Amino acid sequence: MAPIIAKADVSHATREQWLERLWQAIQDDQMPYIELLGEHWGELCHAPELASHWADLLQPTLKIAWKPTPSGHGYFKGTSACMAALLAAHRFNDVLALLDKAPFKWWHYRQWGVKALAALGKKAEAIRYAEDSRGLNDPGWQIAEACETLLLSSGLLDEAYQRYAVEANQKTTHLATFRAIIKKYPHKEPQDILRDLIASTPGDEGKWFAAAKDAGLFDLAIELVKRNPADPRTLTRATRDFAESKPDFALSCGVAALNWMALGYGYEITGGDVLDAWSATSLAASKSGIDASSIKAQIREIVSGQQPGQQFLKRVLGQHLSV
């Protein structure tokens, strides 16, 4: 909604009416559903003059809310809108002066100070300001992302990578994180990036298997899952997908899948999951020219212990392994 309103070709009077209605909607928003609209107030104003006008309207209330009282301090819904308006009005020093009055350091507000310092050409100071915003409940990845952006915009690619790449680019999956970083740092070798990511998550090395596989780093992928737990279903899919084109790699994936199942890894592993892994592993073994008796002996050794997972696999695969 914000970009549409911001780009609309309307008169100053019409835009002012829109802003009045939007501000009232923010005031009435109890849930809140449109709270983040305030962060776009500068672009909604469209012109620096109108943004400055709104900043003057909002500042007095914000200063009162931040004024120390015996019971603490107040809360003002227009804090982000005020900061965004000041920034859009190019009143960068006013942003910093206002933030100096804040009752506590909170990244949600201090991000505007970083933007103001950057706009003043003080990027090194902006990074220090951002780093000084870190706290127990502050989103470290957002702070890292802001610092990374400043360094990248200054052409300091290596420093940006070393200091912030891993923290700033955390995504919902390990593979997505890896892809985000290689896209942002094309001058870095994917294998080097991946090894840095692996080193950043001690104890979770196996979770980078899919990233290594996706990058074509098959030896590294197998190295990871031989020594570290990985999702058995992911390994089974890799076994099935590469049985024809890379049977040796697929076979190693299949053996690893059965091994980690036997050791109790994987969410609610069923007999069907075990049979899928066995079927894919058998196919990969045949494509690799491995004798069936040899692979059966290897799996029998995997399930030979007394752990619940090993006993479960032994029951499911008993007929196939002749045990």
Residue 53 in domain: no
Report yes or no on 177 lying in a domain: no
pLDDT band at 2 (very low <50, low <70, confident <90, very high): confident
Number of domains within the chain? 1
Structure token digits, residue 205: 């090395």
In a domain, 225, yes or no: no
- The reply to whether 125 falls in a domain is no
**Residues facing 69 on adjacent strands:** 72
Give φ, ψ of 31 to 5 degrees. Answer: -70, -50
Residue pLDDT, tens place only, 288-309:
999 999 999 999 999 999 999 9
Whether 311 shows a pLDDT value over 60: the answer reads yes
Say yes or no to pLDDT of 176 above 70. Answer: yes
Distances (CA, A) of 305 to 171, 205, 221, 275: 38, 25, 26, 19
pLDDT of residue 69: 82
Among 93, 88, 4, 91, which residue's Cα sits nearest to residue 45? 88
Q: Which domain holds residue 254?
A: 231-323
Among 188, 172, 171, which Cα is nearest to 180's?
171
147-161 mean pLDDT: 98
In a domain, 118, yes or no: no
Please report whether residue 184 resides in a domain: no
pLDDT at residue 32 in the model: 76
Indicate whether 10 belongs to any domain.
no
User: Quick one: pLDDT at residue 74?
Assistant: 84
Q: What is the pLDDT of residue 6?
A: 86
pLDDT-derived band at 322 (thresholds 50, 70, 90) equals confident
Q: Which residues of 175-195 are buried (b: 16+ CB within 10 A; e: fewer)?
A: bebbbebbebbeebebeebbe
Domain assignment present for 106: no
